[in-house]
Structure 1
Amino acid sequence: MKTSDFYYDLPPELIAQTPLARRDGSRLMLLDKATGETQHRHFYELPQFLRPGDCLVLNDSRVLPARLLGHREPSGGVAEVLLLIDRGEKRWECLVRPGRKLKPGQKLSFGDGTLLSATVLEALPGGNRIVEFHYEGIFLEILERLGKMPLPPYIKEELNDPERYQTVYSREVGSAAAPTAGLHFTKELLTQVEQMGVKVCYVTLHVGLGTFRPVKEDDPLEHEMHAEYCMISAQTADIINQTKKNGGRVICVGTTSCRTIESWAGENGELKESAGWTNIYIYPGYRFKALDALITNFHLPESTLIMLVSALAGRENVLAAYQEAVKERYRFFSFGDAMFIS
């Protein structure tokens, strides 16, 4: 297996730069993981392809407005800080720009400096920084005033409404990127799904920017997978266990939900209340323990995420489906269209 085995040609104009006006108006490709057959539908038609007794597993993580634009003191030069991991005591692991200027000891200010300032404490081996923030009050409220959404690097347009980079069910703040498969759901669609007898349950995985990190090694097995914090409640574990016991399908919404339940599932697929860091790496040859089907967006070429969907549906089936999506002018990546692999 080579990283280049997961390459496909994508015209740049198919990378969705903005969300559609209607969340559930996106297109939905149905992919039969056994046969590779596809159908072209719309996301609002999803209930037609669900069955009473199935359960949907959604990631309720909420994106931090984690991108802070400020200035270096006393020079006044620009600085950009992206919050990655809360290390406690007002200290965060961050990505910073310009890296060569932001050395340990550098002072920073954001806004007019009265609400928020910071000091770079340490440079980490990978280039990230430990930054200590100085403020009074509640950090999240300050971020809501000063921070911006950390959109993926392939999105060049400004986002008019920051809520469009949040799912309608987001509640646990902590992600550096959205669990984008969930962006297609409306509250009305979720209500419709529940009323037809499909259980809806939630896990939390705080998405890290490592999700966008390309696989640079020729052998994908040499790629070092990033770690992310995730949680499964006792209630969600019970719903998933009962669904499997009754013969229903466990359908994960997004690769983050998939990685969460697969990280904690026993060999028999059974789950229990769990929390901790996961760096699970799913690629062809992996045997899924809990997941039966997946709702997901279209992923970057040669990424760990296209490897994950290839593990579920077969590399040939996935690449053929992606080629068809390009031909049919689907919209790709975070604000793009969706696929239901079952």
Structure 2
Amino acid sequence: MKLSDFDFDLPPERIAIRPMSPRGDAKLLVSQAGQIEDAHVRDLCSYFRPGDRLVLNDTKVIPARLFGTRARQSAQGRVEAKIEVTLLEPQASGRWKALIKPLRKLAVGEEIQFAAGLSARCIEKTDGEALLDFSAQGAELDAALDVSGQMPLPPYIASKRAADAQDKSDYQTVWAKHRGAVAAPTASLHLDAAALDALQGHGVTISYVTLHVGAGTFLPVKVEEIRTHTMHAEWGCVSPQAVAEIEQTRAAGGRIIPVGTTALRLIETAARGGTLRPFEGETDIFIYPGFEFQITDGLMTNFHLPKSTLLMLVAALIGKPHLDAVYAHAVAQNYRFFSYGDASLLFAS
């Protein structure tokens, strides 16, 4: 299939820059047996059977966007300039890969000063990124980021408004546990504690996996032949407990429904070869039409960017013709798109 097959026209006003409040008021498009139905997230219990299992990603987004200053001595004296840093990925050494604006003006060896007494030195610059060595590590760095950092909103939101205090709760799942993501598993943002209680009261069970969503989730596909696209890698973990729970549900005839493409990609990674096994490490699985799902029976997800790998994943699950129908319906019915937008519940074709 071609990249152009996954393009569609989206009016700019359909891009949500704030979530619905309360979360259950978001629209929910339900697709099952080739039929499309309009509902709301608060109606989720109507579409699940007792014995179904949700798989949730319990990664926690870090305040990865920092604003600081860099200083140099010049013939005119000390010169300070503002600089923006977006953390991308931690290294085994404790250093961080980061995007820097403006990168070209930052010299290797130069230090950046942030709030809360935090600083970082530029160790190297490669491929449009920098490697930073922070003055704090571990829990001390986490605490400093919580004070001085902002939530790393997706580019299509950040271009329209700055992050604020509300985003620290809006752009985080209510069950977030393991720090490490620089983007949220956004389908999960629709579910609050009341929704989880209602689903469990209905007989739906829940398993947790961890996939630290990276900034690569926003990278565009640049090749026309999609099979030649190289996916970014992200670290994930499927525990023995999650494997046992999922297999127990399958044996009893329940359906496995990940919430979000991140949870789906991770369990399908752990099931490569046809058997679900515990997994810990990096996954670069690329799911597009023709993929054979081993575990997934359905998916709760948001409405995705044109020409994105996430859109290709959805097409693999429900079929490309039905994907086109779902997205045409969503546009016509004024659904809100992308990270803070409305949701869909899609059962495999």
TM range (shorter): over 0.9
What amino acid is the match of 1:150? P
Match of 1:314 in 2: 319
Alpha carbons 1:14, 1:332 under 8 Å: kept: yes
Is the 1:24–1:43 contact (alpha carbons within 8 Å) kept by the matching residues of 2? yes
* Partner SS state of residue 169, structure 2: helix
Deviations 1:57-79 (A, max 9, x none): 00000100001100112331111
Which whole-Å CA distance do the structure 2 matches of 1:90 and 1:207 have between them?
18
1:120 matched to 2:117? The reply is no
8 Å contact 1:115–1:135 — kept in the other structure?
no
d(CA) in 2 for partners of 1:93 and 1:319?
A: 37
Residue 267 of structure 1: how far off its partner (Å):
3.4
Q: Which residue of 2 aligns with 1:153?
A: 155
Query: What's the offset of the Cα at 1:103?
Result: 3.0
Q: Distance in 2 between matches of 1:256 and 1:15?
A: 21
- Letter in structure 2 aligned against 1:298: F
* Residue in structure 2 matching 1:278, options 275, 283, 288: 283
Q: Equivalent residue for 2:45?
A: 47
Find the aligned partners of 1:2 and 1:60 in 2 and give their Cα distance.
Answer: 34
- Return the offset for 1:91: 0.9
1:22 matched to which residue of 2? 22
Once the two structures are overlaid, the 10-residue window that deviates more, 190-199 or 136-145, is: 136-145
Letter of the 1:208 partner, please give it.
G
Q: Distance in 2 between matches of 1:319 and 1:291?
A: 21
Count of residues in correspondence between the two structures: 336
Equivalent position to 1:139, from 113, 129, 141: 141
Question: 2:217, 2:272 → 1: CA distance?
Answer: 25
Q: Deviations over 1:131-161 (max 9, x none)?
A: 1111387110000000000000100233441
> Cα distance, 1:193 vs. partner?
1.0
Q: Distance in 2 between matches of 1:23 and 1:17?
A: 14
**Partner of residue 59, structure 2:** 61
Q: Partner residue of 2:7?
A: 7
Per-residue CA deviation, residues 264-321 of structure 1 (Å, 9 max, x unaligned), is 11433x3232200000000000000111100000000000000000000011111111
- Aligned partner of 1:207 in structure 2 is 213
Q: TM-score, normalised by structure 1?
A: 0.95
In the TM superposition, 1:172-211 aligns within 5 A as 172-211=178-217
Matches within 5 A, 1:98-113: 98-111=102-115
* Contact 1:18–1:157 (CA under 8 A) maintained in structure 2: no
Secondary structure of residue in 1 paired with 2:106: coil
Q: Secondary structure at the match of 1:77?
A: strand
- Contact 1:238–1:272, Cα closer than 8 Å, also in 2: no
Distance 2:91 2:295 in 1: 32
Gaps of 5+ in 1: none
Q: Secondary structure at the match of 2:341?
A: coil
Please state how far the C-alpha of 1:88 moved relative to its aligned partner: 3.7
Q: Counterpart amino acid of 2:268? A: E
Corresponding residue number in structure 1 for 2:330: 325
Aligned match for 1:290, one of 292, 295, 304: 295
Partner of 1:303: 308
- Give the equivalent residue in structure 2 for 1:86: 90
Deviation at 1:24, TM superposition (A): 1.4
Within 1, Cα distance between the matches of 2:308 and 2:321? Answer: 16
Does residue 237 (structure 1) correspond to residue 243 (structure 2)? The answer is yes
Distance 1:305 1:71 in 2: 36
